[in-house]
Structure 1
């Protein structure tokens, strides 16, 4: 199968508020007031957690039948730990991004605990967003005038 490319365009709206666009979709990201924003949208790290959770739910829904999981419902709650002193430059020893991400799966299915645990392992191994976080891609930055 050919490599698929996904694109995003992010532009400043005002202050720390940004518009995020892909295909025909758009959403706003901002920072909370205590971090200098206007609190009109999630901040980027919250969006990252939501993207990770959404990816895991989509993987679960897409592969449940193949894995003989009788999935009735799935909810995922995520928590990321981040020390703002890292990206603010206040503590050179603090990690800039998340130091830990915890995913809590709430799965309602007519399966054994072992079957569900094996399925969660599969979800974590198969989620493209999780793989991108765990095994960082090559990052290229171009300056275009």
Structure 2
């Protein structure tokens, strides 16, 4: 995946779950870039990784008590910035303002209908 602010490598023949993980990284990257501009932080490099646990049993129609989706996500950000930037305040603002991570952390209504 490529955005205006970065490139995200998720492999070949990407499945929908991997697309979601790529969206998390893309949104954190673009939000992090925007927040850095707002806070006058000059970011030299920003690398992000995401890991998630998914149990495909329910998806495959097998008995399982787990949801069919991701059971949790762990994101790691590595940031290099010029000067004595307050990266803790930056991260707090990124977490507060990122729309995709907000949708994952909080219940978002969804309507699926058949036409």
Task: Mark the CA change 1:105 to 1:40 in structure 2 (over 3 Å): closer, same or farther.
Answer: closer
Greater shift, 69-78 or 50-59, is seen at 69-78
Mapped to 2, the partners of 1:112 and 1:87 lie a distance apart of 47
Flag structure 1 segments of 5+ consecutive residues without an equivalent: 1-38
Match of 2:110 among 135, 139, 145: 139
Structure 1 match to 2:94: 123
1:76 aligns with 2:48: yes
Gaps of 5+ in 2: 1-10
How many pairs are equivalent? 105
The TM-score with structure 1 as length reference comes to 0.65
CA–CA separation in structure 1 for the residues paired with 2:113 and 2:54: 28
Q: Distance in 2 between matches of 1:111 and 1:68?
A: 11
Separation in structure 2 between the aligned mates of residue 107 and residue 98 of structure 1, nearest angstrom:
26
User: In angstroms, what is the RMSD of aligned CA positions?
Assistant: 1.9
- Partner Cα distance (2:110, 2:67) in 1: 18
Distance 1:132 1:40 in 2: 26
